[in-house]
Amino acid sequence: MKHLNITLWGVLPYLVLLLFVAGSAWRYRYDRFGITTRSSQLHESRLLRVASPLFHVGLLLVVGGHVIGLVVPESLTERLMIPESAYRANALAVGGTAGLAAVAGLAVLVWRRLRTRAVRISSRPSDRALYPVLAVVLVAGLVATLAGSRSGDYDYRLGVSVWFRSLFALDPDVTAMSDAPLTFQIHTLAGMALFALWPFSRLMHAFAAPVGYLVRPYVVYRSRGSRVDPGPGSGNGGRSGSARAAGRPAAASHAFDGQRRG
């Protein structure tokens, strides 16, 4: 059992990280234009309009909660004088709501893919592997959130979070993770499986999000054939500036032709 724990919690995370980084670099190098969502909106849009925002917004909140819960140590919240009861209540309210939204959105997306023949046919093998793993990650995380938020139960910030931060110090605290409840272990293993599949699935489109559109300058479009009002008294019969510019070369050309013929 000791060797199994070392393999799962001391070696496997680094193998997954290596696969994630190398696979993402390979995908960007050889399949840059294939990094898309492979949208199936043309096949069915009614369910997609509801399920997609529900899933993506819920997932973003879940990711944000994981960053706070795993990276921020308990000692910091104590120095900020945040009561443990308030922290648990916030984790239950925000994390539970976000988890439910993500699970509900994923359930509708899977049901839509199964019931709509065109969407089902367009599915790739990576999709069939991705959805079950994603479902296990979300459901196990939701169960762990509901169980860990109760007072007196397992405190993941003294176990899972300690193990997670120890990975970046290249000194994995295997015991901190091996002593965690089974639900947290399943959630963690499924999460590592998800990151291992990431470079080879549609999840890569997260790296192609058009974030630059939020800060880029405005693009001003002008019509090439737009008329310019010359104003009163211009004496040109109301012709636009572009028409005058177009007329001069033509008149010069006719004069030149007349001289050649003469």
Domain ranges of the chain: 2-214
Residue 207's pLDDT is 74
**In this structure, how many other beta carbons lie within 10 angstroms of the beta carbon of residue 187?**
23
- CATH number for 2-214: choose from 3.30.420.10, 3.30.420.40, 1.20.950.20, 3.30.70.100: 1.20.950.20
Can you spell out the DSSP letters for 111-151?
HHHHH-HHHHHT--HHHHHHHHHHHHHHHHHHHHHHHHTST
**In this structure, how many other beta carbons lie within 10 angstroms of the beta carbon of residue 173?**
18
Tokens of 103: 């699970």
112 CB burial (10 A radius; 0-12, 13-18, 19+): buried
> Do residues 16 and 189 make contact, with C-beta atoms less than 8 angstroms apart?
no
Q: What is the pLDDT along the chain (262 residues), one digit of tens a residue?
A: 788 999 999 999 999 999 999 999 998 888 877 776 676 767 767 888 889 899 999 999 999 989 888 988 888 888 888 887 788 888 888 888 999 999 999 999 999 888 888 888 877 888 888 899 999 999 999 888 877 655 456 788 889 999 999 999 999 999 999 999 999 999 999 999 999 999 988 888 777 766 666 677 777 777 776 555 555 555 554 444 444 444 444 444 444 444 444 4
81: left (phi over 0), alpha (psi -120 to 50) or beta: left
pLDDT tens per residue across span 197-226? 999 888 887 777 666 666 777 777 777 765
- The Cα 139–Cα 145 span in angstroms is 10
Tokens of 24: 């993402």
Residue 261's pLDDT is 47
Cα angle 79, 82, 83 (rounded to 5 degrees) comes to 120
What predicted TM-score, i.e. pTM, was given to this entire model?
A: 0.73
Among residues 122, 112, 121, which one has the least CA distance to residue 54? Answer: 112
